[in-house]
Structure formats: C-alpha cells, structure tokens
C-alpha cells in the first residue's frame, strides 16, 4: 500500500456547503456507515468506527470549536 503524505490543511466552505456535509455525516453516523468526503481535491473515506469528538479552544480573544473525526490507518 502506498504511504500517504503528511497533510494539515483547513478548507473554508459556505454555510450551505457545510450544512450539506454535516447532514451527510450525521446520516452516515446514524446508519453506521462509512463517510466519504473530498477535501481540497483528495477523496477520504472515514470508517464507520471512527472516533468523533468536539474540541473547544479559547486564547488571545478568540474561540474555536472543532468537530473532529479520528481513526487509525493501516
């Protein structure tokens, strides 16, 4: 299997695009299915057993909420 390059990007979406992606994610979670998404040109499959969490950060007058999905690769 080809080793994947390290990657750390942020991709901005319109509200409508984000809503559609979150709805698809929620449906996948509810149905116990893998979630597929394309981010900045790369197609990613999130396994159904991935860990989902929410992170909140506050620092220097800014706050951030991240919805995170984590899984181990082979």
pLDDT of residue 1: 58
Mapping DSSP to helix (H, G, I), strand (E, B) and coil, where does residue 18 land?
Answer: helix
Q: What is the pLDDT of residues 27-69, one digit of tens each?
A: 999 999 999 999 888 999 999 999 999 999 999 999 999 999 9
21: its two tokens: 């992606």
Predicted structure pTM score: 0.80
């Amino acid at each position: 299997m080809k080793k994947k390059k390290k990657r750390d990007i942020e991709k901005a979406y319109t509200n409508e695009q984000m809503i559609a992606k979150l709805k698809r994610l929620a449906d996948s979670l509810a149905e116990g299915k893998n979630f597929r998404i394309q981010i900045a040109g790369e197609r990613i499959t999130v396994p159904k057993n991935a860990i989902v969490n929410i992170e909140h950060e506050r620092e220097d007058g800014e706050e951030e909420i991240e919805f995170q999905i984590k899984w181990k690769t082979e």
